[in-house]
A and B are shown apart, each in its own frame.
Chain A
Amino acid sequence: AQTVTQSQPEMSVQEAETVTLSCTYDTSESDYYLFWYKQPPSRQMILVIRQEAYKQQNATENRFSVNFQKAAKSFSLKISDSQLGDAAMYFCAYRAEAYSNYQLIWGAGTKLIIKP
């Protein structure tokens, strides 16, 4: 069974600095997708960035980028120039390509604190 592990329950960073959130996963599949979602306090889950496993190039969305290491089954999120609005729970999620239901399998989350 696929699993997703986020080993950092909480991270803090100074405003305008860079922070990296870690995620590892376990799967025997070769085709899959990886996601980072953001969940602000009392607000809904929002997709931050997505990576297709067949793509070697790391995904980038403005200040957000990933370091995808397929062989190591690692998928970290780098946030540059951290802003107060980045404070939230961040969840790493996995979805297989091979199955028909496309459910997301989630990590336990990392709480990101931004220090002004």
Chain B
Amino acid sequence: GAGVSQSPRYKVAKRGQDVALRCDPISGHVSLFWYQQALGQGPEFLTYFQNEAQLDKSGLPSDRFFAERPEGSVSTLKIQRTQQEDSAVYLCASSLAGTGTDTQYFGPGTRLTVL
């Protein structure tokens, strides 16, 4: 596709439910990032993949958060037993080669609301 796509665009979950957020990066992009953006704030890093390898998950806020990219393309961010503080926009970004000069291209985000 032409850009990074994310689905669903909006998700409402009841507290305690599990959710799965999907990211389709730009075809051929090696690096994939997940960020969490709380209302009125800048994004915060969650995790990073290079191909299928998860090289950094230091930003995941708890063990309820899990991300995978099994074939080095599509990625899924899973949140178990959602809490109200998980309400945020979850942004996915991809870049071509993962080098320092690369531009990260962002998807439209998934807005998660936990009731």
Contacts and interface: CB of A to CB of B under 8 A. Distances in A.
Contacts of B104: 47, 104
A103 B33 contact: yes
Contacts of B40: 108-109
Interface magnitude class on chain B = 20 to 34
Interface of A: 4, 6, 31, 33, 37, 43-47, 50, 52, 91, 93, 95-97, 100-109
Contacts, number: 62
Contact of B103 (A4, A50, A100): A50
A106 B103 contact: no
A45 B100 contact: no
B43 interface: yes
Given A95-B100, A105-B45, A44 B107 contact: yes
A103 B55 contact: no
A108 B41 contact: yes
A109 B41 contact: yes
Contact of B48 (A50, A91, A101): A101
22 contacts: A44-B4, A44-B109, A45-B91, A45-B93, A45-B106, A46-B106, A47-B104, A47-B105, A50-B103, A91-B43, A93-B42, A100-B55, A102-B98, A102-B102, A103-B45, A103-B48, A103-B56, A104-B35, A104-B104, A106-B44, A109-B41, A109-B42
